Amino acid sequence: MSWIVLVLSGAFEAVWATALDKSEGFTRLWPSVLFVTALAVSMGGLAYAMRDLPLGTAYAVWVGIGAVLTVVYAMTTGAEAVSVLKVLFLLMIISGVAGLKLVH
């Protein structure tokens, strides 16, 4: 159960990171509200997962999932350029996250 919560929390990290960008320095209400909400859910899930998982593993997986999903969203929406090297490096992060799950 902790791994499922951790993966979902990583997804919410991508949500709050994107909402933070869209809030334009907290000058836009709804992206700011989404940021605070997603941040609370993401941190709460990370805290829950860390009851059963080691700090280093949980944090690395949480950040890795959040980072990859944030970049994939930015690439999908055209906010960030797509390149073969970026995709390769994102796949390396995903491999690292999967590896941490396998060795746990």
For 54-79, write each residue's pLDDT tens digit. Answer: 999 999 999 999 999 999 999 999 99
Query: Is 46:63 a contact under the CB 8 Å cutoff?
Result: no
| Rounded distance between C-alpha atoms, residue 93 and residue 78, angstroms | 21
Task: Using 70 as the pLDDT threshold, list the residues of the chain that sit under it.
Answer: none
Among candidate residues 99, 96, 93, 101, the one with its CA nearest the CA of residue 14 = 93
DSSP-derived letter for residue 80 is S
Predicted local distance difference test score (pLDDT) of residue 75 = 98
pLDDT reported for residue 104:
81
Which pLDDT score is estimated for 76?
Answer: 97
Sequence-distant (≥ 6) Cβ neighbours of residue 46 within 8 angstroms: 6, 9, 58, 59, 62
